[in-house]
Each structure stands twice: as C-alpha cells, then as structure tokens.
Structure 1
Amino acid sequence: YVPITIIIDQEGKIRHRHIGYMSKEKLKGYFLKLTEEK
C-alpha cells in the first residue's frame, strides 16, 4: 500500500495532495500554512 495524504480546507477545496511518506514536520507545515491564510 502507498500512503496518500489529502488536505482539504474548511470550504471543501483540496489544498494539497501527497503520495508516499511525509514527515510529521512537513505535515504540520502544511496545516500551519493553511491556518495562517485565514
């Protein structure tokens, strides 16, 4: 199996797709960037 991460904002838009391993720091970075935009 291949891990897949899809980050969706509160409006239901896909903000990021990632296929494969992702470090915890990178994942946190995507969420921080998303929260800073609002």
Structure 2
Amino acid sequence: GLIKANILFLDPVKQILKPQSRLELLAIREVMKSA
C-alpha cells in the first residue's frame, strides 16, 4: 500500500541524498508525522 509506494519513491531519493542522510531522516520523519 502506501508504505510500499513510499519505499519505491524514497529509494531513488536515497541514492541522490546519500551524503545528506541526516536531512533525509528529517524528511522521512516529517512524512511519517503527516501520515
């Protein structure tokens, strides 16, 4: 469902943001808060 879609969306994003993993973590936290 939604989580699988999020993983599919975040996977390429992770490749782009590898040096910014902390920022990525904050973004995921925001997504989870608004979910």
TM-score normalised by the chain length of structure 2:
0.43
Higher share of residues assigned helix: 2
Higher share of residues assigned strand: 1
Higher relative contact order (CA 8 A, sep 6+): 1
TM-score normalised by the chain length of structure 1:
0.41
